[in-house]
Chain A
Amino acid sequence: MSHDEHKLPFWRKYIFSIDHKVIGIQYGITALLFLLLGFCLMLMMRWQLAFPAKPMPWIGGFFGDALMPGGIMLPEFYNQLGTMHGTIMIFLGVVPLGVGAFGNYFVPLQIGAPDMAFPKLNMMSYWVYFVGGVIMLASFFLPQGAAQSGWTAYPPLSDIAPAGQTWWLFGMVFLITSSLLGSVNFLVTIIQLRADGLSFFRLPFFVWAQFVTSFLLLLAFPPLEAAGVLQLMDRLAGTSFFLPSGLVVSGEILQVSGGGNPLLWQHLFWFLAHPEVYVLILPAMGIVAEIMACNTRKPIYGYKSMVYSVIFLGFMSFIVWAHHMYLVGMSTEMSAFFQVTTMIISIPSVIILTSLMLSLWGGSIRFNTPMLFAIAFLPMFGIGGLTGLPLGLAASDIHLHDTYYVIGHFHYVVAPGTIFALFAGIYYWFPKMTGRKMSEILGKIHFWFSFIFINGVFMPMFSMGLAGVSRRLWDPTQYAHAQPTQPLNVFISISAWCLALSQIPFIINFFGSIFWGEKVDTNPWQATTLEWATPSPPPHGNFETVPTVYRGPYEYSVPGREKDFHPQHESGS
């Protein structure tokens, strides 16, 4: 194959490539840039929250009078930033990084396949995602700016919002199509293209996580696509799917046919968006499991129960969606059902987390940078999960709904949880992708400062939420009940800006290590799974000889063996 590779012109090899490794890196770079952008939007919002009605230094002048007259952020612009922060972080940042980048690059490698099952579809999936991202970004430059109805786009507000919302919907249609193409590809690849001897219960947990994630993407996204089509019809064809009769806007009754139901959107949206939570978290759990096994030098505790848990989790995630909607006035029977399913779904998450925690016990732990991020994932995700329980019960949710408590809860799951795991994945697999290790010193600086400041950002939000501060306030000082917690807002904002500074070592490390990192051989971490059986970076077609698998994924410290790891592809007992 290698002579084939050289014949390809530059644009076929690096831009419109059908090699899953190039596509994975394309996804990774794009998603990291979007993560940075989404983070920057939030940093601007933090100024407004900490120092309302004060001009933003330096940056405020760039945005002109339409968005920030005199450097003071307009409420409309604040809403745009919030909406696009959520949209960008979830649909353009975390999911593409966890699934598009790590999934694309490492699923074929970990199952011993030469590529994904449908390489051209894979390329299309990336470019459709890219177009979706461009549409989202372009919407900022519309006369009335980007979407401002929140990432949940609740009607009737979103139905009557300015044109940015239409662009948001078109962007979402592209992103949904992209993940649909991707999920079909992952499912077929994992089912059909596993190496000889690689039975389902010999799959690394990361592959299992991607497998269940793909099912969620495949089956949960189409209802949002349907909802998006209905909202587009409302906005463009004048239908009233989400507009009730007699809706009053600006003191006048809206002239529409009426008869619609805003709750229909909420049902369709959360039918996607709850499984989406697991789309965010499962790849992260998979990465943590890989790193834990390798750096504790012992098998994952309870591998099989983790696999059964992740399957059960995937199934249950389809029947919990209305726990986001306790306040819409549903009957007590309905709310009882969703409270029960919500409590049940916490069980498999706890099993997975406990298994990972117990995996540490008795291990000879190597505290390298990927392992630090992976260990930090456990308590951070734990806090995120446990603070979710009061939100899953209607009685306490009535108080906490739509407050900063919710923000704190899901950010603990996604930011110090998932994003830390994704950082762990970058540090762990960087040697495989580039042939060079990232700097441990810069990595540890990055870890410790990020760890301290990210808790400084999200921990105080629980107090603010318990005090009843709503999550959507542009100027919290205007509300009497929010004034006592205003010092916390200042503390959070300063932590957030320090968190931004803490990412500088990572950026230097990332680009610097590509050129100056310590060179490594095939298997620098002495790991057992198949991606370490091929050169770093892997050649076109991945494996020089098609690997055969002889054992389970985590055979570390097998008694009686000379080396403390036994790779899956090595024969002999």
Chain B
Amino acid sequence: MSDMIRYISKPHPVTGVTNAKLGIWCFLASEVMLFGALFSAYILLRTGATEWPVGADLLNVPLATVNTLILIASSVTIVMSWASLAMKDLSRFRIYMGLTILLACAFLVVKGFEYGAKFEHHHFPNSSTFYAIYYTLTGLHGLHIVGGIVVNLYLLFPGSAMWQTEPERFLGRIECAGLYWHFVDLVWIFLFPVLYLL
């Protein structure tokens, strides 16, 4: 069947993209609406609140800064993995993709320490509206990180068999994974100042 569907590996001459790339952009558009709705909820709750804490007083800014740097680094490594593959170097692709996954795990570990410290001080989602939106936004973002790790692991190990059969299509998949990863990174770039600094 899939041999009859066009523009799986080669871009469409008019739109200039493959099916998968158009699909991931559509998906990211819906993700923008998802996080957009949650950020709007944040704004509405904050403007309606009688008092709202400064994020820096309650949350650990240095740890979050480290996490920001980790995520930015992982965005660089995933681009490097794509570039290595574009230069037909599978082993360097594996190194950079592995690094991306490790950095993503490091982000989650740091986040876990942050959550742990909050739980120790009995700051739970039901403690206040600030903590409620903090846990919801960072939790949902964390789920997106986990999803990215799963997909990247698949592309690193079993999925990379496609490199031997359909190299162009596999390169396209890495690009799509990269687009998603940049989006997850970008969400954090908004979350960090909104929750920790403002």
Q: Mark B6-38, 1 if CB is under 8 A from A, else 0.
A: 110000100100010011001101110111111
CB–CB B23/A218 < 8 A: no
In this assembly, does A117 line the interface, its C-beta being within 8 Å of a C-beta of chain B?
A: yes
CB–CB A223/B37 < 8 A: yes
CB–CB A219/B126 < 8 A: no
Q: How far is the CB of B39 from chain A (nearest CB, A)?
A: 9
CB–CB A191/B33 < 8 A: no
CB–CB A117/B23 < 8 A: yes
CB–CB A192/B7 < 8 A: yes
CB–CB A113/B5 < 8 A: yes
Q: Mark A246-261, 1 if CB is under 8 A from B, else 0.
A: 0000000000111111
In this assembly, does A180 line the interface, its C-beta being within 8 Å of a C-beta of chain B?
A: yes
In this assembly, does A239 line the interface, its C-beta being within 8 Å of a C-beta of chain B?
A: yes
CB–CB A229/B140 < 8 A: yes
Query: What A residues does B132 contact at CB under 8 A?
Result: 233, 237, 239-241, 257
Q: How far is the CB of B162 from chain A (nearest CB, A)?
A: 14
- Quick one: which of A115, A188, A226 contacts B1, CB cutoff 8 A? A115
Q: How many residues of chain A have a CB within 8 Å of chain B?
A: 48
- Quick one: which of B19, B31, B38, B126 contacts A237, CB cutoff 8 A? B126
Distance A233 CA – B126 CA, assembled complex (angstroms)? 9
In this assembly, does B198 line the interface, its C-beta being within 8 Å of a C-beta of chain A?
A: no
Q: How far is the CB of A147 from chain B (nearest CB, A)?
A: 22
Q: How far is the CB of A113 from chain B (nearest CB, A)?
A: 7
In this assembly, does B87 line the interface, its C-beta being within 8 Å of a C-beta of chain A?
A: no
CB–CB A184/B126 < 8 A: no
Q: How far is the CB of A458 from chain B (nearest CB, A)?
A: 34
Q: How far is the CB of B43 from chain A (nearest CB, A)?
A: 10
In this assembly, does B165 line the interface, its C-beta being within 8 Å of a C-beta of chain A?
A: no
Given contacts A233-B125, A261-B44, contact A222 B31 (CB under 8 A): yes
Distance A229 CA – B144 CA, assembled complex (angstroms)? 14
CB–CB A240/B136 < 8 A: no
Distance A226 CA – B110 CA, assembled complex (angstroms)? 25
Q: How far is the CB of A547 from chain B (nearest CB, A)?
A: 13
CB–CB A222/B37 < 8 A: yes
Query: What B residues does A226 contact at CB under 8 A?
Result: 34-35, 37-38, 41
Q: Mark A469-509, 1 if CB is under 8 A from B, else 0.
A: 00000000000000000000000000000000000000000
Distance A257 CA – B130 CA, assembled complex (angstroms)? 10
- Quick one: which of B2, B31, B125 contacts A238, CB cutoff 8 A? B125
In this assembly, does B60 line the interface, its C-beta being within 8 Å of a C-beta of chain A?
A: no
Query: What A residues does B29 contact at CB under 8 A?
Result: 218-219
Query: What B residues does A261 contact at CB under 8 A?
Result: 44-45, 48
- Quick one: which of A115, A118, A264 contacts B23, CB cutoff 8 A? A118
In this assembly, does A55 line the interface, its C-beta being within 8 Å of a C-beta of chain B?
A: no
Q: How far is the CB of B41 from chain A (nearest CB, A)?
A: 6
In this assembly, does B135 line the interface, its C-beta being within 8 Å of a C-beta of chain A?
A: yes
Q: Mark A406-419, 1 if CB is under 8 A from B, else 0.
A: 00000000000000
- Quick one: which of B5, B12, B129 contacts A114, CB cutoff 8 A? B5
Given contacts A188-B22, A268-B37, contact A1 B136 (CB under 8 A): no
Distance A183 CA – B22 CA, assembled complex (angstroms)? 12
CB–CB A192/B15 < 8 A: yes
In this assembly, does A290 line the interface, its C-beta being within 8 Å of a C-beta of chain B?
A: no
CB–CB A264/B136 < 8 A: no
CB–CB B129/A240 < 8 A: yes
Q: Mark B136-147, 1 if CB is under 8 A from A, else 0.
A: 100010000000
Query: What A residues does B19 contact at CB under 8 A?
Result: 117-118, 188, 192-193
In this assembly, does B164 line the interface, its C-beta being within 8 Å of a C-beta of chain A?
A: no
Most buried by B among A184, A226, A268: A226
Q: Quick one: which of A74-123 are within 8 Å of B by CB?
A: 113-115, 117-119
Distance A222 CA – B33 CA, assembled complex (angstroms)? 6
Query: What B residues does A218 contact at CB under 8 A?
Result: 26, 29-30, 33
- Quick one: which of B1, B128, B136 contacts A229, CB cutoff 8 A? B136
Q: How far is the CB of B190 from chain A (nearest CB, A)?
A: 15
In this assembly, does A227 line the interface, its C-beta being within 8 Å of a C-beta of chain B?
A: yes
Query: What B residues does A117 contact at CB under 8 A?
Result: 5, 19, 23
Q: How far is the CB of A269 from chain B (nearest CB, A)?
A: 11
Distance A261 CA – B49 CA, assembled complex (angstroms)? 9
In this assembly, does A32 line the interface, its C-beta being within 8 Å of a C-beta of chain B?
A: no
Query: What B residues does A239 contact at CB under 8 A?
Result: 125-126, 129, 132, 135-136
CB–CB A257/B127 < 8 A: yes
Given contacts A223-B34, A226-B38, contact A241 B1 (CB under 8 A): no
CB–CB A225/B34 < 8 A: yes
Distance A226 CA – B37 CA, assembled complex (angstroms)? 6
In this assembly, does A540 line the interface, its C-beta being within 8 Å of a C-beta of chain B?
A: yes
CB–CB A257/B128 < 8 A: yes
Distance A222 CA – B29 CA, assembled complex (angstroms)? 10
- Quick one: which of B31, B33, B45, B49 contacts A264, CB cutoff 8 A? B45
CB–CB B31/A260 < 8 A: no
- Quick one: which of B7, B36, B49 contacts A193, CB cutoff 8 A? B7
CB–CB B45/A241 < 8 A: yes
Residue ID in chain A nearest B128 by CB atoms:
A257
Q: How far is the CB of B69 from chain A (nearest CB, A)?
A: 28
- Quick one: which of A183, A191, A268 contacts B15, CB cutoff 8 A? A191
Residue ID in chain A nearest B19 by CB atoms:
A117
Distance A233 CA – B33 CA, assembled complex (angstroms)? 19
Distance A567 CA – B186 CA, assembled complex (angstroms)? 49
In this assembly, does A391 line the interface, its C-beta being within 8 Å of a C-beta of chain B?
A: no
Q: How far is the CB of B191 from chain A (nearest CB, A)?
A: 14
In this assembly, does A433 line the interface, its C-beta being within 8 Å of a C-beta of chain B?
A: no
Given contacts A218-B30, A226-B37, A233-B136, contact A193 B5 (CB under 8 A): yes
Distance A219 CA – B38 CA, assembled complex (angstroms)? 14
Q: How far is the CB of A19 from chain B (nearest CB, A)?
A: 8
Distance A74 CA – B182 CA, assembled complex (angstroms)? 53
In this assembly, does A460 line the interface, its C-beta being within 8 Å of a C-beta of chain B?
A: no
Query: What B residues does A260 contact at CB under 8 A?
Result: 45, 129
CB–CB B140/A1 < 8 A: no
In this assembly, does A221 line the interface, its C-beta being within 8 Å of a C-beta of chain B?
A: yes
CB–CB B1/A257 < 8 A: no
Top 10 closest pairs, chain A to chain B, by CB: A238-B126, A239-B132, A226-B37, A222-B34, A223-B37, A222-B33, A114-B4, A259-B129, A237-B125, A117-B19
15 contacts across the A-B interface (CB closer than 8 A) = A117-B5, A221-B30, A222-B30, A222-B31, A222-B33, A223-B33, A225-B37, A229-B136, A233-B135, A239-B132, A241-B45, A259-B48, A261-B45, A268-B40, A540-B1
Q: Please give 8 more A-B residue pairs, beta carbons under 8 A apart, in addition to A221-B30, A237-B132.
A: A1-B4, A218-B26, A218-B29, A223-B33, A240-B132, A259-B128, A264-B44, A267-B44
The residues of A with any CB-CB pair to B shorter than 8 Å are 1, 4, 18-19, 113-115, 117-119, 180, 183-185, 187-188, 191-193, 218-223, 225-227, 229-230, 233, 237-241, 256-261, 264, 267-268, 271, 540-541
